[in-house]
Structure 1
Amino acid sequence: MIKNGIKIGLTIMGTTIGAGFASGREIWEFFTSYGLQSLVGLMITLLLLLLSSMVILWLSWRFETENYYDILVLLMGTHLAKIFDWFIFLYLFSGSIVMFAGSGAIFEQWGNSMVLGVLLLAIPLWIVLARGVRGLISLNSVLMPIKMLMMIYVGTLFLMNDQEVASHFIREHLKVWPSAITYVAFNVISLLGVLSTIGKKIRSRGEIIFGSVVGTFGLGLIAFLMNLSLLRVPNVDHYEIPLFSIIPNQPIFRVFVSIILWLAIYTTALSNVHGIIFRVQKKFPFSTGKLSFVFLTLIAPISFVGFSNLIQFLYPLYGVLNLYVLSLIILYPFQQL
């Protein structure tokens, strides 16, 4: 039970810690910008993430689901499930735009053009997609623990400086709890997409509970470290990638962090665009190379809106739109009483 539970916990963490999380932009946008009450917001988020993960895993285990659509049908019926199925297509498309903007932001951080960062993401994506996606899961499994350890190390090192909390935050006059709930709703589609596929590998309810607790605890540790660090950075909202505001001013280490972030962006973009093409090919029998070229050509120009601007607009928007799905997941066990 423990071994399988740890695997489930790591899956939950790997699904949630994407490029937006690792860059610190999500933590700033949904929590740190609210000041010290962000700590309360994180507690709300972790509780809802725990409950959501357990319900999704339980549904996948009980009904032996193979994909997120099976669970959507259980939650809302066939007609609404078809609507949300197309909504997930838009989610993947806009998520790809954000990743392109993130690549551009990393190159801007080093004084280069954003255009260069976008092109150096688009070209290898097209080459890999045209030839077939291989090794993506293996690359993610290697990157995930590196990302986690990097964030824990950077956060701990920064907090050891014993700096005071910054005096001003742009949303400290607002309540944090709506943002905390929206953040869970934003992540629930990704959790659905991954956790809905592993039900047949689960052997008991104990694995579901243990795995959910492990995943939530790991996420909470990293999120609290990042949030406490960013709370101590004056004008942290001026950074496209807030993580760079807390890492040591050592060129080699900053290069290492930049590479890890870029690889996280690359794998996320590859997964998203591959998901888009896989869906479109069910309707239109075009080659992967042609479709990937079309979609990458559409995505790249929109990314110049900017990494922080896109996250600030798109992520809360999808969080609000996903509130319906989140509420169905949380309330599902009570409907069975």
Structure 2
Amino acid sequence: MAVWRGLKIGFTIIGTTIGAGFASGREMWEFFTSYGRDSQYSLSLAMVLFFVTVTIVLWMSAKPGISNYYGILRKLMGKRLASIFDILTMLYLLSMSIVMFAGSGATFSEWNFSYAFGVFFIALMVFLVLLFDVDGLMSIQSFIIPILTGVLLFVYIKFLTGDYEGAQTILGNGYVSWPSGITYAALNVVPLIAVVSTLGKELRSKKEIWVSSIVSTGGLALIAILMNSSLLKAGHEIGLYEIPLFALLKGYPTAMIVVVSVILWFAIYTTALSGVYGIVSRISSWFKSPNWLISLVLILIMIPLSNFGFSTLVAVLYPIYGVLNLFVLALIILYPISYKTER
């Protein structure tokens, strides 16, 4: 039972992190593969930092009184600073979720459905799952993530073991790659806290914390290493594709491309689901309304916002998020030391 709970939490963490940017290969290309063969070292650094972060946040979340990300922020930085970061985190999760809604609309447009239908479909799916609160979140992630992971691993292994008549392997661009490992780990820290902080009440033992950390980090590391190796093998031809993953599917039948497209939508969906749940869990501490009602109101607000361009919003908020993420990552890593000092 403990192992199964640990697996479910681990899958939920993967679903929070994997996102459309990760699954499509775009994040991997930008943060790692473009640096060449040395990217494997920075990728390993990112996975180590991810493991440390997940383990510490799970450990903190299992303590009494933690029900959402604000409890974690307060422990990390004190009440006054946590109040500021609370607002920034809320904006981060809101903008991320809205972009995922817009991404679903764009995906459905590519499939010759209307943009609005794609937005309403993901909104409905998010709402239906959140009717069951954290149990619904964990159950759907436990179902989707193994399938998503299996399809991605199939594509990468088949590509790496086959003959590919593409460009030569990328050797490197002469830049130091290890800072990108830190940046990438920091990129995921806020949505990670938002979801993991709500899972603490599901933990019954330290064993579950270790199982969750190992499963989530191991799963992501396996996908990331094979993805990076595949993109390195594909070489500079990756630059011709908006979605690098499709460069690995050149020559595949249409049916396989459709399957991968569906998988990418599920990656968008799991990210949106985690983002909305993170916001709902925080708002529910302010109001005594049921979570399903908060979810409904929040989703109804987000639907029209997904029709606007967010380039300005991203341009203003993302630099702030970058500082926020690096700062929070450093505080999480140092927390065990400060915790022992406090005691």
Amino acid at match of 1:139: I
Distance in 1, matches of 2:308 and 2:266, equals 21
Task: Check if 1:78 corresponds to 2:79.
Answer: yes
Alpha-carbon displacement from aligned partner over 1:80-118 (angstroms, at most 9, x marks no partner): 1111111122212321343245336645766x5xxx563
Paired residue for 1:151? 152
Distance 1:322 1:201, change over 3 A: same
1:296 corresponds to which of 303, 321, 340: 303
* 174-183 vs 220-229, which moves further: 174-183
Could you say which residue in structure 2 is the equivalent of 1:118?
Answer: 115
Aligned to 2:173, the other structure's residue is in SS state coil
1:38-66 superposed Cα distances (whole Å, 9 cap, x missing partner) = 10111101110111111111112244522
Distance 1:132 1:203, change over 3 A: closer
Name 1:102's counterpart in structure 2. Answer: 103
In structure 2, relative to structure 1, the CA distance for the partners of 1:11 and 1:129 (3 Å cut) is closer
Write the distance in 1 (CA, Å) between the matches of 2:103 and 2:272.
10
> How many residues are paired up?
326
Residues 180-234 of structure 1: CA deviation (Å, up to 9, x unaligned): 1111111111221222223333333343234322321221111111111111223
Query: What RMSD in Å do the two structures reach over aligned CA positions?
Result: 3.5
Kindly indicate whether residue 253 of structure 2 is the aligned counterpart of residue 246 of structure 1: no
Q: State the AA in 2 paired with 1:241.
A: I
Equivalent residue, structure 2, for 1:23: 24
CA 1:140–1:181: 2 relative to 1, 3 Å: same
2:178 maps to what in 1?
A: 177
The structure-2 alpha-carbon separation of the partners of 1:298 and 1:156, relative to structure 1 and needing over 3 Å to count, comes to same
Q: What CA distance in whole angstroms lies between the structure 2 residues aligned with 1:158 and 1:245?
A: 10
Describe the SS at the equivalent of 2:36. helix
Structure 1 distance, partners of 2:307, 2:91, is 15
Identity of aligned residues (%): 46
Cα deviation 1:109-158 (Å, max 9, x = unaligned):
66x5xxx5632322334556788954653433321111110111111011
Residue identity matched to 1:149 = G
Find the aligned partners of 2:330 and 2:201 in 1 and give their Cα distance. Answer: 25
Seen in structure 2, the aligned counterparts of structure 1 residues 256 and 129 have a Cα distance that, compared at 3 Å, is closer
CA pair 181-118 structure 1, distance change in 2 beyond 3 A: farther
Which residue pairs with 2:49 in the alignment? 48
| Cα distance in 1 between the residues matched to 2:9 and 2:114 | 34
Q: Name the SS for the 1:174 alignment partner.
A: coil
For 1:73 and 1:102, how far apart are their aligned partners in 2? 33
Q: Which moved more, 1:272-281 or 1:237-246?
A: 272-281
> Could you list the runs of 5+ residues in structure 1 that have no partner in the other structure?
none
- Determine if contact 2:195/2:278 at 8 Å carries over to the other structure: no
In structure 2, distance between residues paired with 1:298 and 1:117: 17
Cα distance change on mapping 1:255 and 1:27 into 2, 3 Å: same
Residue 258 in 1 paired to residue 265 in 2? Answer: no
DSSP-derived class of the 1:322 partner: helix
Query: Do the aligned partners of 1:16 and 1:187 also contact (CA within 8 Å) in 2?
Result: yes
Find 1:333's aligned residue among 320, 333, 336: 336
CA offsets 1:258-291 (integer angstroms, 9 cap, x no match):
12222332343355456657877969x9997676
Distance 2:129 2:148 in 1: 26
Residue pair 1:185, 1:323 contacting (<8 A) in 2 also:
yes
**For 2:4 and 2:91, how far apart are their aligned partners in 1?**
36
Whether 1:195 aligns to 2:202 is no
Letter in 2 for 1:123: F
3-state SS of the aligned residue for 1:197? coil
Match of 2:12 in 1: 11
Stretch moving more, 320-329 or 100-109: 100-109
Deviates more, 1:287-296 or 1:85-94: 287-296
What TM-score comes out, normalization by structure 2 length?
0.80
Contact (CA 8 Å) 1:97, 1:302: kept in 2 or not? no
Q: Within the alignment, does 1:141 sit opposite 2:148 as a pair?
A: no
Residue 257 of structure 1: how far off its partner (Å): 1.5
Distance 1:297 1:152, change over 3 A: same
Question: CA 1:40–1:316 in structure 2 vs 1: closer, same or farther (change >3 Å)?
Answer: farther
Task: After TM superposition, give the deviation of residue 5 of structure 1 in Å.
Answer: 3.7
Partner of 1:321: 324
